[in-house]
Structures are given as C-alpha cells and as structure tokens.
Structure 1
Amino acid sequence: MTQLNPLTVAMQMDPMEGIKIGGDSTFHIMLAAQARGHRLYHYLAPDLTFRDGRVLAKARPVNVQKVDGDHFAFGPEEVLDLGRDVDVVWMRQDPPFDLSYITATHLLERVQEETLVVNDPGSVRNAPEKLFVLDYARFMPPTMITRDLTEVKSFLAQHGEIVVKPLYGNGGVAVFHVGKNGANLSSLVELFKASWVEPFMVQAFIPGVAQGDKRIVLIDGEVAGAVNRIPGAGEIRSNLAVGGSAAKTLLTDKEREICAAMGPELKARGLLFVGIDVIGGEWLTEINVTSPTGIVSIDAFDGIDTGGMIWDAIDARLAARAAA
C-alpha cells in the first residue's frame, strides 16, 4: 500500500519507563510508526484536559529504539490539541477498565471528527472483553455472569469444574480454577463480592487449556496471525505476564469460522487492533479491544510485520476519511 505523508501520532499509554520492550505490543507499534517517519508523542490518560470545547493533552515528543535500558528519549513537554495538532491518537493504556478508563473514552470521542482514534473509543467502552464476547456465545464454553453463590454452586454441579474470574480483570489476574469438590467456593465468592461491585464471570473448565490458550490478532477485521500461549507448570493461566510461554501455531477451521463471524463487526465498530482468545481450537473466551498484545511473538514465529500491517490499515482509514 502506498504510504501517506508522515503523521503526527499521540500515544495515550502507560509510562515509558515500565515498558518491557521485548514483548510490548505498543512499543512494537511505535517502532513501526517511527520507521515510516511518523512523529510520536507520549502522554498518560490523566494528562487529558477538556477546556473551551477542546481536548488537550500534556505530551512529550518521544523517540524509541530497541535497546534495553535506553529504549526512549523525550523532548520538552508540549500541550497538544488532539483534534487540531494530531493525525492519530492511540488509546493503549492497560486496564483496569474502570471509571477513569471510561472517562478517557468519552473525552477522546470528542476529537473523532478531526482525528482518527484507535481503537474507536466509543466501541472500546461498549465492548469490554468479557461482555462483548457474549455476542458470540455460540462459540463460547458454558458461561455465567452473576454474584449469586447459589447460582455458582448449581453451575459447578452441572459442569463439574469451573473457572471464576473478574469481569473487568486483565493479564490473568485473579483467575481461579474450582474443582469438583467445590473447596473454598463460598469463600471465593465472598472475596469476589467484597472486592468488586460488579458481577463476575464463571465458565466451565476446558481441560484443553493445558495445551494452550491461542491469541489470534485481527487487524481491521482480518486475521493477521496467532500465537499459542502455554501455561506454566501447575497453572491454568497462559498469559505471558504470569509465566506462560509462547509457541508457534496455526488456526483450526473452527477458529477461522470464529474470526470470519466477528471480523465484519470489528471493522464496522472501528476496532482496528483486536486480540481474541481461543482454547482447544474451538472455545472463544475473550475479545480483547482495550490494549491487546501478542504481535511481537507472532512476528517472531511467522516472519511477518504486524506493525506494518496495522499502519497500512490506519493509512487506509485515513484515506477513506479524506475521501468522504
């Protein structure tokens, strides 16, 4: 695809100091942008200000390089009008998906007529990982969302083994496997109810998770690639952040069916970079739209350039907007 002129890109993300450059997808996207001559700015979500009808961000120009311990350099802070001074805003801060996160989506929605925001902030707000996936329940393992202990006990009796996890969690945090005897189930439900005001998710345990939890990346509704994440010893969680390991993989026919079913909807919603999770080659568990990861491993295993594919998709979006 023919590249457009160099862009000014604002990255709303986490602090640069904490980025683990070996596997961080946002850093990978930034490297790909810089290789195309785009100018990068960095800011944190709390740096947003709405004033006199404009959305502003205290941001710093940033250069990145793939050197551990010396991976970024900031320029002097500037105040950017995200509608007038920027071509693309990336919303890439990690969850929790809380009121702060939701507020940021509302603010960024106000610049969309002037600036491309990736992913679409309204769609991100309306498609939290463990709720949006319910639109594709036909591909999911048996699933319950509840705060009711009696319901959870009934679900356990029906399915034998279950997994309990927070509705708005991320990175595999607070994911629990409950066996047939239901040991500590009551205490676990009490803990979840005390820790979160919202319901939690309960799913039938899929033994196939021992062979891995596949992360499939879709770019503007099309499959870009996949990586299999294998749990560590004694774990059911395969997230790389909690000790899982990555392995090369291919898609099953069922996984391709899942991607084909949701691809047009992702594209229509402006969800340009999405990562879905599938267990056992057939069971969809999450649709990650807030800050999906996995592209570094996919590129390493498959010899592709997902960062370039993402920027090609952004160029196409910008060209379509310009022609409209």
Structure 2
Amino acid sequence: MKIAFLADPLASFKTYKDSTYAMMVEAARRGHAVYAFEQRDMALENGRVTARVSAITLTGDASDWYRAAPAEECDLGQFDAIIQRKDPPFDMEYVYGTYLLELAEKQGARVFNKPSAIRDHNEKLSIAQFSEFTAPTLVSSDETRIRAFQQQHGDIILKPLDGMGGSGIFRVTADGMNLGSIIETLTQQGSRTIMAQRYIPAIVKGDKRILVIGGKPVPFALARIPQNGEVRGNLAAGGVGVAQPLSERDYEIANTLGPKLAARGLLLVGLDVIGENLTEVNVTSPTCFQEITAQTGFHVAAMFVDAVEAAVAQELATDTGD
C-alpha cells in the first residue's frame, strides 16, 4: 500500500518515543510505501484537494532516521491510506485542515481518523457522551457556576477545552485559594468556556492512557504518574510512564466506547482514565505506542497497521461491491 502521513515536521520527531515514527517503521517493515506531508502542504484549487507530498525512506538510524524525496503535487486520492497525525493545538487552522481532508475523502481519499469525526469529538467534551464513566463535571464560562461547583465538591481541577500535554491545568482545593484568579485566567474574563471536574485522588497512581485500535483495546495501559508534587501525569509535564495490564474497569470503559467510536470513523483513540473515571477521549494524534511496547513487548504499532490494512481492505470491498 501507499500510506501518506499528515504530520508535523519530520525533523521535530523524537524517535525514541514518537508514535508516528513507530507507525512508519512498521509500515515500511511490511513493504508499504511511506509518504509524508504537512497541513500547510495541502491546497484546494479548481475543486480538487492536492498536497505536496514526499516519499520517505527510513534509514534505520534513529538519530538520522529518514530521507525525503523532492515533494510532488499529488491528488490525495492516489494513496491507499492517509494517516492524520498532526498534533494539537486544535485551533481553527486544524479545523480548516479537517475540512480539506473531508473534501479529499469525497474525491476518493481514505483518511484515518476520519476528519469529520476528529472535528466532532472535542477531546475534553466528548466524555459527556459517556457520563456513566466520569467524575462530576461542569463545562461553563460563568464564574458563579464555577464557584458553586467548587463549593459543592471542594477539591477540583480546572482546565481549558483546547489544551494539550497538561497545559493550563489547575487544582483548587477546599480553601478555594486563587480560584478567582484562575477562573479569570482560564476563561479570559468570562469569554472562554472551560471544564471543571471533581479532583480524583487516584491520580497519584497515574493518569492511564488506554489505546483503542479498530474498536479493540490494547491490553496494556501507560499509567503516567505525576512527579514532584504535580497534579498532572502527562509525560510532557514530567510524568513517568509505567505500563500495566488493563484493569476490569479499564476493559469495561474501553469495550463500551471502542466499538461506538470506531463506527464513527475513529480508528485510533486514546482514552485517559484516572482511577475508575474517564477524563478525556483523545482523537487527534494519540501517543504512548513506544512506551507500552518497550515495557511489555506488545507491538502496538503492528496492531495499528493491522487495523489500517483491514480498514482499507473493507473500504475497497465496499467500493467494488464485493
């Protein structure tokens, strides 16, 4: 197959931990042709979506890991699969990218995850669709509502709806210290909607990343454990990742959400679970492939490429009426 990855600049990859890199390595190992382009390389002209795409050769040297052929203008429909791996922030530029990819789909491109599904599943707000698995949550820009939520629950977490890597997350304990200042900062004086959640003490044991591929959970989660007094377990915020088998509750959450999300066009999802509670549904560019594989021997990238191959085969069969 010809597989094109829509990603951030390849030179920015930290190959020792990058999940997109692991996907590319596995795809190339199987003999698939690997290509790459950035969102800025796409264009809509005369009703067609094209992109400047480079064929990528992997060198096997993690410190000098690729060679890129000169970019060529390509119709995105010529690839067997396009893997959407652009990192957040999920700003309007990101949204415009999903619109272009959605148009490309109408011209025959197969995109994973499905652009409209990425757009429709805010990584924070999507948990509201599965409230049976969540801690008490408030979404609002209104200071009075947020203060009342803190009064009711005492110890809470406040965070923006478009953050990544743990950025912009605050904990406010029962004394309410600095609550007003935090609300003003996060809501930008009431002009931006944020999320408040009851603090989950189980965070000390880790914020678990559960990967769901093709509707099925990877059997190991990466528990990202906060360090040095932090409330954030995110690896980008200094958390330490420890792989562990899924618990019974983890399986319950993953097996409930997985088939539903897959049916919506989300081939790869990262569920964040603290203790017994679902806290986020990550759909843009879920990570932790390499950490789980290194610690458990379970080849996450192989499971992912299996799912891509199966999805492409299914779409081809549907297109031909087989």
Query: Please, what TM-score do these two structures have when normalized by structure 1?
Result: 0.94
Shift of 1:262: 0.8
Shift of 1:187: 0.9
Contact preservation (8 Å) 1:142, 1:204: yes
Counterpart in the other structure of 2:199: 205
Contact preservation (8 Å) 2:143, 2:190: no
Alignment: residue pair count: 316
CA deviation string 1:130-161 (max 9, x = no partner): 11111011111110111111111111111111
Counterpart in the other structure of 2:254: 259
1:22-171 equivalences under 5 Å are 22-83=16-77, 85-113=78-106, 114-171=108-165
- Taking the aligned partners of 2:281 and 2:5, their CA distance within structure 1 comes to 22
1:219-230 equivalences under 5 Å are 219-224=213-218, 225-230=220-225
Counterpart in the other structure of 2:238: 243
**Cα distance change on mapping 1:293 and 1:95 into 2, 3 Å:** same
CA deviation string 1:179-228 (max 9, x = no partner): 11111111111111228953011100011101111110010110113111
- Taking the aligned partners of 2:175 and 2:200, their CA distance within structure 1 comes to 17
1:293-308 equivalences under 5 Å are 293-308=287-302
- Taking the aligned partners of 1:33 and 1:68, their CA distance within structure 2 comes to 16
- Taking the aligned partners of 1:196 and 1:219, their CA distance within structure 2 comes to 38
CA deviation string 1:83-141 (max 9, x = no partner): 1x211111111111111111111111122252220101110100111111110111111
Contact preservation (8 Å) 2:141, 2:191: no
**Cα distance change on mapping 1:165 and 1:9 into 2, 3 Å:** same
Does residue 1:272 correspond to 2:258, yes or no? no
AA at the equivalent of 1:235: E
- Taking the aligned partners of 1:317 and 1:18, their CA distance within structure 2 comes to 29
AA at the equivalent of 2:313: A
Q: SS in structure 2 opposite 1:218? A: strand
- Taking the aligned partners of 2:63 and 2:295, their CA distance within structure 1 comes to 25
- Taking the aligned partners of 2:189 and 2:86, their CA distance within structure 1 comes to 23
- Taking the aligned partners of 2:189 and 2:227, their CA distance within structure 1 comes to 27
- Taking the aligned partners of 1:68 and 1:59, their CA distance within structure 2 comes to 22
Q: SS in structure 1 opposite 2:211? A: strand
**Cα distance change on mapping 1:158 and 1:310 into 2, 3 Å:** same
- Taking the aligned partners of 2:141 and 2:85, their CA distance within structure 1 comes to 30
Q: Which 5+ residue runs of structure 1 have no aligned equivalent?
A: 1-6
Q: Which 5+ residue runs of structure 2 have no aligned equivalent?
A: none
Query: Of 295, 298, 304, which residue of structure 2 is paired with 1:310?
Result: 304
AA at the equivalent of 1:220: G
**Cα distance change on mapping 1:227 and 1:183 into 2, 3 Å:** same
Contact preservation (8 Å) 1:21, 1:66: no
